[in-house]
Amino acid sequence: MPGRNIGVCDVCAKERPTWALTKCHICGHVVCQKCATFAYGRYFCSKRCALFFFHDEGLDEDEGEET
Ligand SMILES: [Zn+2]
Ligand SMILES: [Zn+2]
């Protein structure tokens, strides 16, 4: 048993298993899948971050470790 794989959603502040959490690609906030905004093929903590990504797309992109 490798410890508790539990994290806290930055939006709803509830504890979630890490598999249900995702990291915002823009601001780095950790959000659960219920709170996350899915856009452009990835998750964001909010619509604002999704829009930011849309405007900012192509700047950087190299951490493909979300499988
Ligand atoms: Zn949440
Ligand atoms: Zn964000």
> pLDDT digit string (tens) for 50-63?
998 778 655 555 55
**CA 36 to centroid of ligand 1, rounded, Å:** 7
Residue 28, by phi and psi: left (phi above 0), alpha (psi -120 to 50) or beta?
A: left
**CA 53 to centroid of ligand 1, rounded, Å:** 20
> pLDDT digit string (tens) for 6-46?
999 999 999 999 999 999 989 999 999 999 999 988 899 99
pLDDT tier for residue 4 given thresholds of 50, 70 and 90? confident
Residues 17, 5 contacting (CB under 8 angstroms): yes
DSSP E strands: which ranges in the chain? Answer: 6-8, 15-17, 21-23, 30-32, 37-39, 42-44
pTM, two decimal places:
0.69
